[in-house]
């Protein structure tokens, strides 16, 4: 079991397998990776994943960039050790043709970015993306039982903050025969150039909470999941949120092989590329020692 010096158990690993992407979303933080570097090979990714698995990591999420751009993405999934859950976060544009194969090689579920169901809004946010391709990908994921599909909607003032009811309706339609999809409403990070889109989503959460028939408390970051009819809705509030940081159970690996203790910091990474056995374990433990909450309680 990996525990940092603040007593936070680390149970979830995120591995970026590429920084390449076929979209250009206005809010993309590239998993906190500032330089692209050479991508890890399938073998290198598997070696790192096995080391984390042996140290008690329960879940792994494969990220990017857009991970489905890698022609060997199914090989990467197939090489994962026996985690409790193997998932992928994707923009969904390539998902419809890969969903069945990904399920066959061991993928459990997917997170799909979808900030609007409206063609013009989606195209603006993603730099020209086609929303129908993402909807097809989500439906294919549901049919392949890569569920529950987490639909990630970054809430942006003046862009899509008036479309939450619409998105909840879409999620409800996917859940007619059981829980297939969960809507995650994500507070946009206050990165340079994005301040004009920032919206505190607390009031949105209060409104949905007032309509909820049930509320579940998730282990990750103490998130609440609200059940409103057939819609399941979660809120992700990382901005100025010490509770979010104090319950963080994630650690990251960049696409060029550095262990990254915190999304919002780039000055405390530990290089793991080319390491094996005890040296790799030592690098992981060093990165865990460097973890600290980005936002701390006052």
The structure's pTM equals: 0.94
Phi, psi angle pair for 211, to nearest 5°: -100, -5
Establish if 158 belongs to a structural domain: yes
Per-residue pLDDT at 298: 63
Per-residue pLDDT at 296: 79
Q: Which residues 6+ apart lie within 8 Å of 197 measured at CB?
A: 26, 27, 156, 157, 158, 159, 188
Q: What is the mean pLDDT of residues 7-32?
A: 94
Establish if 294 belongs to a structural domain: no
Establish if 142 belongs to a structural domain: yes
Distance CA 4, CA 287 (A): 9
Establish if 295 belongs to a structural domain: no
Q: What is the CA radius of gyration of the chain?
A: 18
Question: In this structure, what CATH number is given to the domain that contains residue 231?
Answer: 3.20.20.70
Residue 294: DSSP 8-state: S
Per-residue pLDDT at 222: 63
Establish if 18 belongs to a structural domain: yes
Domain that holds residue 185: 2-289
**Residue 72: both structure tokens together:** 């060997």
- Specify the higher pLDDT residue, 102 or 218: 102
Establish if 27 belongs to a structural domain: yes
pLDDT > 90 in the chain, percent:
85
Number of domains making up the chain: 1
Taking CA atoms, 233 is separated from 42, 122, 215, 218, in Å, by 35, 20, 10, 12
Establish if 296 belongs to a structural domain: no
Per-residue pLDDT at 239: 66
pLDDT digits (tens, 9 = 90+) for 282-293: 999 999 999 999
pLDDT digits (tens, 9 = 90+) for 180-234: 999 999 999 888 889 999 999 999 999 999 999 999 887 655 678 999 999 999 9
Establish if 298 belongs to a structural domain: no
């Amino acid at each position: 079991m990996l525990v940092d010096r603040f007593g936070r158990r680390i149970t979830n690993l995120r591995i970026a397998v590429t920084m390449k992407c076929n979209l250009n979303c206005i809010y993309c933080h590239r998993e906190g990776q500032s330089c692209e570097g050479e991508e890890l090979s399938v073998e290198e990714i598997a070696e790192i994943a096995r080391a984390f698995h042996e140290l008690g990591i329960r879940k792994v999420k494969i990220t990017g960039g857009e991970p489905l751009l890698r022609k060997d993405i199914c090989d990467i999934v197939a090489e994962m050790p026996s985690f409790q859950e193997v998932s992928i976060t994707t923009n969904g544009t390539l998902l419809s043709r890969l969903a069945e194969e990904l399920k066959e090689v061991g993928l459990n579920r997917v997170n799909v970015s979808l900030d609007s169901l409206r063609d013009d809004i989606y195209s603006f946010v993603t730099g020209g993306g086609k929303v129908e391709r993402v909807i097809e990908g989500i439906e294919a994921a549901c049919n392949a039982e890569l569920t529950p599909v987490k639909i990630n909607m970054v809430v942006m003032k003046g862009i899509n903050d008036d479309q939450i009811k619409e998105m909840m309706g879409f999620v409800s339609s996917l859940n007619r025969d059981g829980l297939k999809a969960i809507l995650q409403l994500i507070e946009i990070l206050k990165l340079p150039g994005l301040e004009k889109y920032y919206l505190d989503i607390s009031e949105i959460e209060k409104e949905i909470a007032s309509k909820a028939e049930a509320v579940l408390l998730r282990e990750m970051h103490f998130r609440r999941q609200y059940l409103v009819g057939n819609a399941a809705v979660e809120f992700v509030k990382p901005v100025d949120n010490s509770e979010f940081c104090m319950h963080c159970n994630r650690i990251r690996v960049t696409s060029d092989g550095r262990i990254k203790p915190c999304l919002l910091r780039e000055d405390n990474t530990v290089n793991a590329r080319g390491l094996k056995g005890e040296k790799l374990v030592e690098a992981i433990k060093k990165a865990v020692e460097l973890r600290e909450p980005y936002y701390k309680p006052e």
